Each structure stands twice: as structure tokens, then as C-alpha cells.
């Protein structure tokens, strides 16, 4: 397996996702200084030079070749019986559990390790106690990189065992601030790349890594046509924004004539409470069994993905998520079941119509979900 990464020659900087200002490529993810003057905490995305003629239809990615474990091209599963139950013309599941380590995080990890190789980094560092940690550890192992993971002290054993098996170095903390402070400290050392967010207020994960989610839009289009809605279980919005950005590029390339509406699903009200961009810097704590999307922070990424598509945020609590899980006919992680549970309230509010095609992101199965009993 190659231990080098081929950078996209069009990649020429980082760009604020809000104001569009372009900055030099860097390993450290910092807030846009221009937006910060307005007390709006906004992160960066990859910036690419214009495409050459004949290449306009391609979704741009930071790296064209490098470490891969076969992530992506996950199946889009049509569910006619579920569609009928929900009063929909068509309902599909984008099954991200088919990725190598079992979750959508593999798409981000692949881009992250290739950035690390490109910049001569020796260590990935991240704050995660779940799928992101396992994915990063496996991809770092494949790339010959070290991986340091800041976890909670009560990390479920199934995750701890997987991290140990992939050679990750675990550091346990009692709270979120301890984890993020550790990642921030490591990220400022030479040879380290912080894969996940370490700022408060939050910005989101490493910008070049998040680009790895954009091909989901192309896959949805090729596998099932342009959906009317995409429903995404969400913590800080990396996945939702990546899907949004992918559809934006397809729109600009004239492969599609409209954007699907993106709905982010949260276990308790977070984005649902944000009325202004400044509110994104606030904390909205709550308790949930939806392990993969717990947390109190927001980012501009999820704000843009929903506002930019006329979508929004839907709260699906644990009891509704548990009720929705058996409808999938397979064992999905609880937050993915919550995404399915968001459809009925959206139908009842007439924000999703009977004739619509809805894609639900099945982010991972329940094999490592602490809420799964196997029954």
C-alpha cells in the first residue's frame, strides 16, 4: 500500500465557509478572523482553483490518490414498505455501515491521513469515544501513523478494545473541556494533525478531512437520482455540511437543478434553539442515549447546511428513536434510527410531502452502540 498522498493540484488554500475569505493552507484549524470580529465563530473549508475545461462536473477533493481502505460507494437501499408506512412515494437508506470500519467516519479519516502524509505529520490526534476514534485509529495504522485519542473515562469497553487493537494511544478525561484542551495542546506541536474539533465555541473537524463527505452527494445522485430531502443524524454538522457542499458543487456543475433540503436530527434541542449566527457560540446541554450525537455544541457548518437548503433541525428524543429502530429491519445505531423517526413529524408539518423522495443517512450499525441490547 502506498504511503504517499497525491494532492489535488487545484487545492490552493482554505476558505471561510461564511464570508469566503481565502487563507493559506495550514495544519491548524482556526476561526475566520473577519467573522470573529462579528462574534461569529466560523471555520474553514478547502479552496480550489477553477476547474479546467472538461473537468467542471467533478466534485473536488483535496487528495486524488493515497491511503484508502475501500471507503465510499456505500449502497443506497430503497425501502418501499417503509415508504408506505411513512406516507412517502420513496424512501431510501444510505448505508454508511458498509464502510471499512462500519461508519461514515471512514470518509473523513481517509482524507485526514492523506493530509497527514502530505504535510509530513507523524501523529493524528482527536477527541472521540466512538466511531471517529476507531476509524482514525484504523486509517492511521494503515498509513503507518501514530494515533492519539482523547476519550471519556467511561468509554464503553467495545470501543476501548477496538482502539487498543488498532494501536491507538488512549488518554481519558472526565469532561469535554479536558479532551479538547488536550487535543488543542497536541495540535500545536510539530508533527501533529488534529482530526476533530478542539475549539470552544466549536468550528468542526479538520477542513480537508471533512471534504471526504462530499462524494455522498454524487453517490446519491448516481444510485437513486436527486432526492428531495436528506435526513442526517447530527452532532456538530461535519457530515451534513459535507453532503451540502457536494450537492452545491453538483449544482454549480449543472448536474442538478436544485438542492435537496437537508434536515439535521438532534437528540435534544441545540440548533433548534439557535435564532442567530451568534447563538452558535452558546452551549445547549442535554442527556441522551444517542451516543454518537451527544454533546452541547453547535457549528456554522450545520447552520449553513440547513439554512442553505431551506431545511432545518428536528429533535427526536430517545424514546422516539428506540421506537423507530425496529422499523429499519436491521440494527442501526440509535441516532440513525432517530433520523428515521424524524420523517413522521416532518410529514405531519407538511415540510415533507407525500410525493417526495427522502434519503436517510444510516451512519453506522449498532454493533458498538452502547444502547444496543441485541434483542
- Please tell me whether residues 221 and 317 are part of one structural domain: yes
Among the residue ranges 316-325, 347-356, 360-369, the one predicted with the least confidence is 360-369
The domain that contains 305 carries what CATH number? 3.40.50.1100
- Please tell me whether residues 180 and 220 are part of one structural domain: no
For the chain, the average pLDDT equals: 94
Residue finishing a domain among 150, 180, 209: 209
Q: Is the pLDDT of residue 297 over 70?
A: yes
User: Tens of pLDDT along 130-167?
Assistant: 899 999 999 999 999 999 999 888 778 888 888 999 99
What spatial distance separates the first Cα and last Cα of the chain, rounded to whole Å? Answer: 40
Question: What would the grid cell of residue 100 be?
Answer: 471499512
Looking at residue 130, its pLDDT comes to: 87
- Please tell me whether residues 83 and 125 are part of one structural domain: no
- Which residues form the domain of 15? 10-53
Mean pLDDT score, 258-276? 97
User: Tens of pLDDT along 72-82?
Assistant: 999 999 999 99
- Please tell me whether residues 249 and 223 are part of one structural domain: yes
Mean pLDDT score, 1-12? 84
User: Tens of pLDDT along 202-221?
Assistant: 999 999 999 999 999 999 99
62 belongs to a structural domain: no
Mean pLDDT score, 39-54? 92
- Please tell me whether residues 222 and 168 are part of one structural domain: no
* Cα 274 to Cα 58, 188, 197, 339, distances in angstroms: 34, 31, 20, 20
Q: Is the pLDDT of residue 374 over 70?
A: no
- Please tell me whether residues 88 and 226 are part of one structural domain: yes
Looking at residue 375, its pLDDT comes to: 40
Mean pLDDT score, 175-186? 89
Q: Is the pLDDT of residue 354 over 50?
A: yes
Mean pLDDT score, 158-184? 89
Looking at residue 330, its pLDDT comes to: 67
- Please tell me whether residues 36 and 136 are part of one structural domain: no
3 belongs to a structural domain: no
Residue finishing a domain among 209, 229, 258: 209
Residue finishing a domain among 209, 234, 256: 209
Question: What percent of the chain shows pLDDT beyond 90?
Answer: 85
326 belongs to a structural domain: yes
90 belongs to a structural domain: yes
Looking at residue 327, its pLDDT comes to: 93
- Please tell me whether residues 93 and 227 are part of one structural domain: yes
Looking at residue 331, its pLDDT comes to: 79
Q: Is the pLDDT of residue 85 over 50?
A: yes
Looking at residue 128, its pLDDT comes to: 87
201 belongs to a structural domain: yes
- Contacts of residues 71-76 at CB distance under 8 Å and 24 or more positions apart, as own/partner, are 71/99, 71/100, 71/106, 71/107, 71/109, 71/110, 71/212, 72/99, 72/107, 72/215, 72/219, 73/219, 74/98, 74/99, 74/219, 75/223, 76/219, 76/220, 76/223, 76/224, 76/359
- Please tell me whether residues 91 and 131 are part of one structural domain: no
- Please tell me whether residues 185 and 282 are part of one structural domain: no
- Please tell me whether residues 306 and 264 are part of one structural domain: yes
Mean pLDDT score, 252-270? 97
- Please tell me whether residues 124 and 235 are part of one structural domain: no
The tally of domains found in the chain comes to 3
Looking at residue 1, its pLDDT comes to: 42
User: Tens of pLDDT along 48-68?
Assistant: 999 887 766 679 999 999 999
61 belongs to a structural domain: no
Amino acid at each position: 500500500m502506498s504511503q504517499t498522498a497525491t494532492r489535488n493540484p487545484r487545492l490552493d488554500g482554505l476558505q471561510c465557509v461564511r464570508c469566503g475569505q481565502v487563507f493559506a493552507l495550514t495544519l491548524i484549524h482556526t476561526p475566520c478572523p473577519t467573522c470573529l470580529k462579528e462574534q461569529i465563530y466560523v471555520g474553514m473549508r478547502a479552496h480550489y482553483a477553477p476547474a479546467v475545461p472538461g473537468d467542471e462536473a467533478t466534485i473536488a477533493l483535496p487528495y486524488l490518490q493515497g491511503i484508502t481502505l475501500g471507503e465510499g460507494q456505500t449502497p443506497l437501499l430503497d425501502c418501499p414498505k417503509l415508504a408506505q408506512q411513512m406516507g412517502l412515494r420513496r424512501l431510501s437508506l444510505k448505508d454508511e455501515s458498509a464502510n471499512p470500519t462500519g461508519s461514515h467516519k471512514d470518509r473523513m479519516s481517509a482524507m485526514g491521513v492523506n493530509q497527514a502524509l502530505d504535510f509530513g505529520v507523524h501523529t493524528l490526534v482527536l477527541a472521540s469515544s466512538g466511531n471517529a476514534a476507531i476509524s482514525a485509529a484504523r486509517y492511521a495504522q494503515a498509513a503507518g501513523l501514530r494515533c492519539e485519542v482523547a476519550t471519556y473515562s467511561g468509554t464503553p469497553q467495545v470501543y476501548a478494545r477496538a482502539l487498543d487493537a488498532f494501536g491507538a494511544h488512549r488518554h481519558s478525561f472526565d469532561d469535554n473541556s479536558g479532551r479538547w484542551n488536550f487535543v488543542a495542546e497536541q495540535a500545536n506541536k510539530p508533527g501533529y494533525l488534529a482530526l476533530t474539533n478542539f475549539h470552544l465555541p466549536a468550528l468542526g473537524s479538520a477542513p480537508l478531512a471533512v471534504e471526504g463527505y462530499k462524494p455522498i452527494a454524487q453517490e446519491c445522485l448516481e444510485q437513486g437520482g436527486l432526492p428531495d430531502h436528506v435526513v442526517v443524524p447530527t452532532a456538530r454538522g461535519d457530515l451534513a455540511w459535507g453532503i451540502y457542499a457536494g450537492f452545491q458543487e453538483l449544482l454549480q456543475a449543472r448536474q442538478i437543478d436544485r438542492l435537496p433540503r437537508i434536515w439535521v436530527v438532534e437528540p435534544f434541542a441545540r440548533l433548534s434553539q439557535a435564532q442567530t449566527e451568534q447563538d452558535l457560540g452558546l452551549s445547549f446541554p442535554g442527556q441522551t442515549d444517542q451516543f454518537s450525537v451527544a454533546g452541547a455544541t453547535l457549528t456554522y457548518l450545520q447552520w449553513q447546511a440547513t439554512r442553505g437548503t431551506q431545511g432545518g433541525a428536528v429533535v427526536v428524543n430517545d424514546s422516539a428513536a428506540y421506537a423507530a429502530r425496529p422499523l429499519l429491519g436491521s440494527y442501526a445505531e440509535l441516532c440513525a434510527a432517530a433520523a428515521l423517526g424524524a420523517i413522521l413529524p416532518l410529514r405531519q408539518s407538511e415540510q415533507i410531502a407525500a410525493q417526495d423522495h427522502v434519503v436517510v443517512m444510516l451512519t453506522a450499525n449498532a454493533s458498538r452502540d452502547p444502547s444496543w441490547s441485541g434483542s
